[in-house]
Chain A
Amino acid sequence: AQKVTQAQTEISVVEKEDVTLDCVYETRDTTYYLFWYKQPPSGELVFLIRRNSFDEQNEISGRYSWNFQKSTSSFNFTITASQVVDSAVYFCALSATGNQFYFGTGTSLTVIP
């Protein structure tokens, strides 16, 4: 069975603070992909990153960074020096057997100016 858990339902931070969004996944497949999407109030899910199961290197893109650890089945997302424009719902997703995306329930991030 495939499953993604985002235990943090809502997070509020003050602007310029760092924030980490947690994602834990379950799969029996050895080949899988993990994704993060951002859903701003406008509703459109915006693709942020894809990571395959064989690449555990952390990745940094500007203020965004991702920490993939197979040992704990986690793929966490950190925003450094948060900004008001980062306010959105963030979804973690898993794609494995059957090619379907399994989304977590999302974390709603509010950045307070």
Chain B
Amino acid sequence: DAMVIQNPRYQVTQFGKPVTLSCSQTLNHNVMYWYQQKSSQAPKLLFHYYDKDFNNEADTPDNFQSRRPNTSFCFLDIRSPGLGDAAMYLCATSRQGGRYNEQFFGPGTRLTVL
């Protein structure tokens, strides 16, 4: 089945220790998104790639970076995680970037910062 895969599902890191979250997709979609979702809150868009074009949200901290080496994979790098970065991180894809395109989500990676 075509899907969005996130690894790992649970990630524990230490304060200030860099961490990388992974997302892959078999849908061959052009757009990939990273969201941060804190407990009992709505998902918050961090950035997205339209093909190779990177689009950063204005309020995304510099601490968060992303890479998309090819169509299938996208990575979220947190350079120096703080306690406030503990959250669920959701990866999503859409066929195109238009407003009409539904987004398909992965199961998320829950990040704990000790």
Q: Which residues of B contact A50 (CB under 8 A)?
A: 100, 102
Q: Does B107 contact A (CB under 8 A)?
A: yes
Stretch of A17-25, A73-81, A95-103 on the interface side: A95-103
- Identify which of B45, B88, B100, B104 contacts A43 (C-beta below 8 A): B88
Residue of B nearest to A10 (CB): B40
CB-contact partner of A45 in B43, B99, B100, under 8 A: B43
Does A100 lie within 8 Å of B42, measured CB to CB? no
- Closest A residue to B110 by beta carbon equals A43
Enumerate chain B residues within 8 angstroms of A95, measured Cβ to Cβ: 99-100
Query: Are B45 and A42 in contact (CB-based, < 8 A)?
Result: no
Q: List residues of chain B with CB within 8 A of the CB of A100.
A: 45, 57
Give the residues in chain B near A8, CB-CB below 8 Å.
Answer: none
Which positions 6-48 of chain B face chain A at CB distance < 8 Å? Answer: 40-43, 45
Would you give the 0/1 interface string for A29-47, flagging 1 where the beta carbon is closer than 8 Å to chain B? Answer: 0011101010000111111
Q: Which residue of B lies closest to A29 (CB)?
A: B99
Closest to B105 in A: A45
Residues of B near A66 (CB, < 8 A) are none
What per-residue 1/0 map shows which CB atoms of A61-104 lie under 8 Å from chain B? 00000000000000000000000000000010001110111011
User: B residues within 8 A CB of A32?
Assistant: 99
- Interface pair A106/B99, CB less than 8 Å apart: no
Asked if A12 is an interface residue, CB under 8 A from chain B, the answer is no
Residues in A whose Cβ lies below 8 Å from that of B90: 43, 45
A52 within 8 A of B: yes
Q: Which 6 A-B pairs have the closest CB atoms?
A: A103-B42, A45-B105, A95-B99, A43-B108, A44-B107, A47-B102
Which residues of B does A touch, CB under 8 Å? 40-43, 45, 57, 88, 90, 92, 97-100, 102-108, 110
Other contacts beyond A45-B105, A47-B103: 10, CB < 8 A: A43-B90, A45-B103, A52-B100, A95-B100, A96-B99, A99-B99, A100-B57, A101-B103, A103-B42, A105-B42
